[in-house]
Amino acid sequence: MNALILSAVLGVIMMFSGILLKQKSAVRGVAITGLAALLLVNILELRGIHFFKIDVAGMMYFDRFALLFISIALFATLVYFILSAKDMEKVGADYAEYFALIFFIICGIILVASFKSLLILFLGIEIISIPLYILTGADKRNLKGNEGSLKYFLMGAFSTGLMLMGIALIYGAAGTFDVEKMKFAIETPAVLPVTGMLLLLFSMSFKVSAAPFHFWTPDVYDGAPTVFTSFMATVVKAAVFIGFIRLFDETFGTFQVKWQMWLAVIAAVTLFIGNITAVFQQSVKRMLAYSSIAQAGFMLLAVYAMNTSAKEGILLYAAAYSLATIGIFSVLNKLNDYTFEGFNGLAKQQPVVAGALTIFLLSLAGIPLTAGFLAKFFMLKSVIDTGTGLWLVIFAVLMAAVSVYYYFRVIQAMYFKEGKADITVTGRFKWALVTIAALIIILGTFPNILINWLYF
């Protein structure tokens, strides 16, 4: 609750800072300070200090899972601001407004992570989506950005329609929006809740870009300004996954047998399409878009398994995936050439940047000692714990092996190809990258420093 109210207020503050403050560095300073304060009050709430006592009529519930995820999302956003906030200046004239929109998105993320009523879920998803449509088209003169923005808007509006229809059917069956009061029969659920569940499954798959609902993703991620793709593909996607898990755990948990098979199929198709298509990309930005689909396939395994290690694992996965991808995008921002050739010879010019980038890529590929490995391990373990779906585990491991190919192409270009990568970075940027790379290795060695927050 602390972070929810403060993030909405900070959004308004950022709007006015664009008018009052003339210098862009001052605007950036306000944004970073505000986000650090947001992270602080949220951690305070995790430790039991509440600033606001508001009666929400049971529509939201801030448990440890929600609060810990919000902390991870806020931390990832802070890292994103520190690494990439300066690159937002290149997008357009409305510098402060971009920050304001991101703060409003955070507001939606907090709603999605803590909903107890389907109305709040819907509100949260919309508060996340609408600023994202604007950010996608933020570079007004870029035709690809405009195309991506329109596509995203139409697809997003369509899937929101599906979601509303699903919520309406579930309301028709249960007579309430409150997930606590919904009790559906285990053995033979009626037609209405099952139809509603399917519609919600499809619309949530749209939002997390799971195949076969992923067609908007490459165009939108490729068309949007790279700084915003970085945010969209990481923090936002992880937040929608948390909403996905809560929805299917709390609302439809009673008839898991009915939807588990559907989710297994969606996860397998997502892993297959994401990984195989990423192999054929020539642009690193587009490769990362398909890689985000592939990683979504792994995160879907947590929704499939829905047990303790799935819930612990999805938090670790959100942290590992967000940090690594934000790091890679922040380097991509500095390059002018987004193809694999653009990375040629980077290791000779910027050994520190190339080293950090290598750790990020290893983490995404799931190599041991990095956070990405343990995140993937938790996902696979959670599926094995359910006792079913061993074929899914084997398939996921095979697909992770495929992913090594396209992640290592970047490493290969950096270290073993001759060329002149066109990049200039500041010393502070290098330090930030190295810190995040160290963090990924620490998380990969001692994952409990993150997961223990759930229990004490």
Partner 1 sequence: MIHLLQINPSTAEAGSYLPVAIQLIFAVGLVSVLMVATHLLGPKRKTSDKLQNFASGIESHGDARQPMAIKYFLTAILFVLFDVEVIFFYPYAVNFKELGWSGFWAVLMFVGFFLCGFTYIIKKGALKWED
Bond before 212 cis per omega within 30 degrees: yes
Told to check if 143 binds partner 1 by CB under 8 A, we report: no
Binding mask 59-98 toward partner 1 (x if CB under 8 A, else -) reads: ----------------------------------------
Among 44, 119, 134, 192, binds partner 1 (CB under 8 A): 192
Residues facing residue 167 across a β-bridge = none
Segment lying near partner 1 (by CB under 8 A), choices 14-22, 206-214, 279-287, 344-352: 14-22
Told to check if 173 binds partner 1 by CB under 8 A, we report: yes
- Report in angstroms how near the CB of residue 158 gets to partner 1 at its nearest: 20
**Residue 176 or 412: which CB sits closer to partner 1?**
176
**Residue 96 or 451: which CB sits closer to partner 1?**
96
- Report in angstroms how near the CB of residue 191 gets to partner 1 at its nearest: 4
Segment lying near partner 1 (by CB under 8 A), choices 30-38, 150-158, 188-196, 269-277: 188-196
Binding mask 16-45 toward partner 1 (x if CB under 8 A, else -) reads: x--x--------------------------
CB 170 within 8 A of CB 178: no
**Residue 172 or 212: which CB sits closer to partner 1?**
172
Told to check if 15 binds partner 1 by CB under 8 A, we report: yes
Segment lying near partner 1 (by CB under 8 A), choices 41-49, 126-134, 166-174, 291-299: 166-174
Q: How far is the first Cα of the chain from the last one, in angstroms, to the nearest whole number? A: 19
CB 292 within 8 A of CB 308: no
- Report in angstroms how near the CB of residue 282 gets to partner 1 at its nearest: 36
- Report in angstroms how near the CB of residue 15 gets to partner 1 at its nearest: 5
Residues facing residue 117 across a β-bridge = 178
Among 61, 171, 215, 377, binds partner 1 (CB under 8 A): 171
The CA distance from 4 to 106, in Å, is 8
Segment lying near partner 1 (by CB under 8 A), choices 66-74, 146-154, 170-178, 377-385: 170-178
Told to check if 204 binds partner 1 by CB under 8 A, we report: no
Told to check if 190 binds partner 1 by CB under 8 A, we report: yes
- Report in angstroms how near the CB of residue 107 gets to partner 1 at its nearest: 13
- Report in angstroms how near the CB of residue 259 gets to partner 1 at its nearest: 18
Among 161, 175, 212, 368, binds partner 1 (CB under 8 A): 175
- Report in angstroms how near the CB of residue 58 gets to partner 1 at its nearest: 18
**Residue 96 or 347: which CB sits closer to partner 1?**
96
- Report in angstroms how near the CB of residue 67 gets to partner 1 at its nearest: 25
Segment lying near partner 1 (by CB under 8 A), choices 66-74, 171-179, 263-271, 284-292: 171-179
Told to check if 191 binds partner 1 by CB under 8 A, we report: yes
Other C-beta atoms closer than 10 Å to the C-beta of 24 total 15
Residue with tokens 């579930």: 170
**Residue 18 or 124: which CB sits closer to partner 1?**
18
- Report in angstroms how near the CB of residue 19 gets to partner 1 at its nearest: 5
> What are the b/e assignments for 174-205, b being 16+ CB within 10 Å?
beebbbeebebeeeebeebbbbbbbbbbbbbb
Number of residues that bind partner 1 (CB under 8 A): 12
- The site for partner 1 (CB under 8 A) is made up of 12, 15-16, 19, 171-175, 190-192
